[in-house]
Amino acid sequence: MKILLTGRNGMLGNDLIEILKGSNHEIISTNTSNLDITKLNEIHEKVDEVNPEIIINSAAYTDVDGCEIKKNLAYNVNAIGPKNLAIVANKSNCSLVHISTDYVFDGNQKSYAEEDETNPINVYGKTKLEGELFVKENLNNYFILRTAWLYGLHGSNFVKTMLNLSKNNNEIAVVNDQYGSPTFTRDLSIAISKIIETDNYGTYHITNSGNCTWYDFAKEIFKQTNIDVTLKAVTSEEFSRPAPRPKYSILNNKNWKKIGFKPLRSYKEALKEYLSLELNE
Ligand SMILES: NC(=O)c1ccc[n+]([C@@H]2O[C@H](COP(=O)([O-])OP(=O)(O)OC[C@H]3O[C@@H](n4cnc5c(N)ncnc54)[C@H](OP(=O)(O)O)[C@@H]3O)[C@@H](O)[C@H]2O)c1
């Protein structure tokens, strides 16, 4: 398939390129400098030039705390960007994969299925939800894929932060009252490469299996790397940040299983592969 990809410099974008090329797709990958998704005319021009069968939008403004300050930027990239892509996809008869987030939920229930009520509690989540709604409003052939707690080889992420902190600290404080499913961008990319082979359009939750708190995840990282560091469990209130985070954002991958796909492997197995790649680079 001929695929137009946005966000090629991103953590997910990098892995998507590798995985999709490996599945014999033709990828035309873009970044902000050659396709700014906030600019409708640029998307029209690019899609006319490339004529893709599918657009995958992995571009976003993902700095959750930054979104609280740069609200306009967050709205433009996370809401207007996907709206523009959906408008052009609809006009050009191609489908759209749009990546969204667990942060569209408020975190007041233990886990969330695709149809559960959304109620974001920070600007990032609000703008990502607006992006989802615009996609649904402007296009039928869409995949909205909500994922969570991403880490990968090509970007800063929680695992790298923990490994770096352990170099200069004997004790690290980690939040122990937020629950989620850490997800390896390579596993998500493989899942995306599978779902685009179908025409089961709709909204999906896709994460690695299992769940934990950030504290549990840090414990697993140091267990698997045999690093001796003391972890101190703290509450979200103690570890205050500009944007509130949902307490529970475990995504039930119900629709993914319903269309016949196996659950993604456990986050612990995925972490093992990630660490072997990361530490041997
Ligand atoms: N990271 C997570 O934990 C997480 C969790 C749940 C969902 N998600 C979602 O997963 C997707 C991928 O996230 P990620 O962590 O891979 O993101 P990322 O590493 O921050 O990459 C996002 C990319 O978006 C590009 N971008 C920003 N503004 C743009 C614009 N106006 N036009 C075109 N491109 C623009 C940036 O490209 P340039 O370098 O060219 O500026 C950046 O490389 C996003 O939709 C995100 O919301 C992420």
β pairing state of 183-184 and 150-151: parallel
Q: How far apart are CA 234 and CA 217, in angstroms?
A: 14
23, 193 contact by CB (below 8 A): yes
State the chain's mean pLDDT as an integer: 97
Banded pLDDT at 281 (limits 50, 70, 90): low
Whether 52 is in the pocket of ligand 1, judged by its Cβ within 6 Å, is: no
61, 67 contact by CB (below 8 A): yes
What tokens were used for 74? 């967050």
Q: Which of 201, 223, 197, 225 is nearest to 212 (CA)?
A: 223
What burial class does residue 65 get, using C-beta atoms within 10 Å of its C-beta: 0-12 exposed, 13-18 middle, 19+ buried?
A: middle
Q: State the distance from the centre of ligand 1 to the C-alpha of 264, rounded, in angstroms.
A: 22
Residue of higher predicted confidence among 281 and 9 = 9
- What per-residue confidence (pLDDT) applies to 65? 97
Q: What length does the chain have?
A: 281
* Rounded percentage of the chain residues whose pLDDT exceeds 90: 97
- Ligand 1 pocket mutation pick from 58, 154, 156, 183 by most atoms within 8 angstroms of CB: 58
- What per-residue confidence (pLDDT) applies to 280? 85
| Domain locations along the chain | 2-156+183-208+251-265
Q: How far apart are CA 154 and CA 274, in angstroms?
A: 11
pLDDT digits 0-9 by tens, 216-264 = 999 999 999 999 999 999 999 999 899 999 999 999 999 999 999 999 9
* Residue 259: DSSP 8-state: T
Q: How many CB atoms lie within 10 A of CB 14?
A: 21
- What per-residue confidence (pLDDT) applies to 258? 98
DSSP per-residue codes, 5-22: EE-TTSHHHHHHHHHHHH
Once rounded to an integer, what is the mean pLDDT over residues 185-197?
98
- What per-residue confidence (pLDDT) applies to 240? 86
- Ligand 1 pocket mutation pick from 16, 19, 62 by most atoms within 8 angstroms of CB: 62
pLDDT digits 0-9 by tens, 74-120 = 999 999 999 999 999 999 999 999 999 999 999 999 999 999 999 99
Instruction: Return phi, psi of residue 52, to 5°.
Output: -75, 160
Instruction: Return phi, psi of residue 195, to 5°.
Output: -70, -30
Whether 77 is in the pocket of ligand 1, judged by its Cβ within 6 Å, is: yes
Banded pLDDT at 121 (limits 50, 70, 90): very high
Once rounded to an integer, what is the mean pLDDT over residues 130-137?
98
Banded pLDDT at 22 (limits 50, 70, 90): confident
Cα angle 21, 141, 150 (rounded to 5 degrees) comes to 50
Nearest 10 degrees: Cα torsion 59, 23, 44, 78 = -20
pTM (predicted TM-score): 0.97
* Rounded percentage of the chain residues whose pLDDT exceeds 70: 100
Whether 60 is in the pocket of ligand 1, judged by its Cβ within 6 Å, is: yes
Q: Does the pLDDT at position 129 exceed 90?
A: yes
CB under 8 Å to 268, separation ≥6 — which residues? Answer: 210, 220, 224
- What per-residue confidence (pLDDT) applies to 120? 98
Q: Which CATH class is domain 2-156+183-208+251-265?
A: alpha beta
